[in-house]
Chain A
Amino acid sequence: MRRSASTEARDAASLVLWVCPVNRAARLIPALGVVAALILLLTFAVGDYQALLLKGAAVTVSLALCSLVLATTLGIAGAAAKIRGGRILRFIASIYTVIARGIPDIVMILLFYFGGQRLLNAATEAMGLGVFELSAFVAGTLAIGLIYGAYLAETFRGAWQGLPRGQIDAAKALGLPTVLAFRKVYLPQLIRAVLSGYSNVWQVLVKSTAVVSVIGLADLVGIADKIGKSTRDSFMLMTIVLLFYLTLTIISERGFGWLERRSDRWAS
């Protein structure tokens, strides 16, 4: 049978793509475009404000990372309480996850900022200490960490419950000590099971950090908002912030994708 011209063309195209993988490189173009646009705008479009904006970006990133550490800690504690805890611990953990997931992030942040200061004052007064100021950064970290800790607790618990029971029995049958069994048998599988949920929570968490600017934190959004109002060019400033968050999203997607591919070698 004679092969049609279109089939031949397709075969030729796939040969070219096999020899020189432009296809793969082409997929990178949008991501590179976003990063290039961010760098260009930051260099040429904002006058002397680059240093300020970069400082704000650093605040945003460190806020996100600090919240992630707190959220992971709370998530592990919450999952452990739900799996292994007694009745009281389990109750506390479920109250925590119900409340933290039922309140919007901005409300939680305001609650911590205004209410947390009162609590702190009462506590330091009772202990006879001076007044400590609860900074916007700390309040934001606590609020965001608390919210996403509840999501992570569910993720971790789900991963633990999805662990094949046979693996645990096998580790026990081999006589592995608990710590070793956890490190060599459970942990690799848990990490693999948790990664996609963890990456999800991280990406939502990053977007939540924008809201902390509402309580006056000088993060990227807060600084860009102030500069935009004084130069009357909010559009440009907010476009830069938008591109910055897009870049963060792209980086985290790629990073987590790489981690997930790597953890596939632990596939059971």
Chain B
Amino acid sequence: MRFELALQHWEVFASGVWMTLHLTALCLLIGGCIAIPVAFAMLRGGVSGWLATGYVYLFRGTPLLVQLYLVYYGLSQFDFIRETWFWRPPAYLRSACIEDLMGWKVCAADFIPSLRSAWWCALITFSLNSGAYVGEILRGALKNTPKGELEAATALGLTDKQVRRRIHIPSAFRRALPQYGNEVIFMMHGSAIMSVITLQDILGVGRWLRAKYYVPYEGIVASAILYLVITYLLVFAFQLIERRYLRHLNIKAPGAERGWFGRSAV
């Protein structure tokens, strides 16, 4: 047992935590932007509804790891993708660089999704995955909005657009909060597979420690503890948020009552 190795390299673990957290946060942000139109399309039906349902079904019915392999190893084999900007941005974007406040070099080309980089592949896959899961959660919440709530808003003279923006979406968000909390935690857990495509997240750093010092499990135990701590910090944070935003419901927050159940598949 040489756990002092993990403590000695705490900076590397801190960078791993940053990698996990910032990628998860970005994916949830982009996924949320995908989820709103997807949820409305699923409710409306028609061709867009079919497409949205297919998208949600595809991403919820298959493992994240396979999706990641498909994007990371699969897309790169096509020549027509290798010829686009998504493989190699043009030279004038690569050379348009500035030094940011931290002294790092940032180029215009860095903002174009590159299928060559593991980070972008992980971001694309996880965002699409999260968009599907959040879309499904949101669809349920939008559908379960009490009819009277929307009718009351219409009766008050709000236009359809106003009803949607000011009543329907906020109210659905509120009711989706406990499930959304589970989704955030599952996204954070799911992001651990990015270490498979060479990214140095929490688990990646744990495996790096294992390879560097040839210690069998100390690095992985350290990452497991970090994941455990972050998970329960998130659970705690969501309990606070739920208490704040669901206090109009006369019961305890449903998430707190039910206990944390994890991502639901159906």
Contacts and interface: CB of A to CB of B under 8 A. Distances in A.
Contacts of B70: 234-235, 238-239, 242
A107 B33 CA distance: 29
Interface string A114-157: 11011000000000000000000000000000000001001100
Contacts of B227: 102-104, 107
A200 B63 contact: no
B224 A103 contact: yes
Given A221-B66, A239-B70, A233 B217 contact: no
A246 B132 CA distance: 15
Interface residues of B, number: 48
A253 interface: yes
Given A111-B217, A114-B210, A239-B70, A213 B65 contact: yes
B192 A104 contact: yes
Contacts of B220: 107, 110-111, 114-115
Interface in A206-255: 207-211, 213-214, 221, 225, 228-229, 232-235, 238-239, 241-242, 245-246, 249-250, 253
Interface in A157-202: 158, 196-197, 199-202
Given A106-B192, A221-B69, A246 B228 contact: no
Tell me if A's interface is mostly helix, strand, loop or mixed.
Answer: helix
- Pick from B62, B74, B232 the residue with the most CB of A within 10 Å: B62
B64 interface: yes
B58 interface: yes
Tell me if B's interface is mostly helix, strand, loop or mixed.
Answer: helix
A111 B263 contact: no
A98 B193 CA distance: 21
B69 A225 contact: yes
- Pick from A99, A118, A249 the residue with the most CB of B within 10 Å: A249
Nearest to B262: A151
B224 A232 contact: no
Interface of A: 30, 98-99, 101-108, 110-111, 114-115, 117-118, 151, 154-155, 158, 196-197, 199-204, 207-211, 213-214, 221, 225, 228-229, 232-235, 238-239, 241-242, 245-246, 249-250, 253
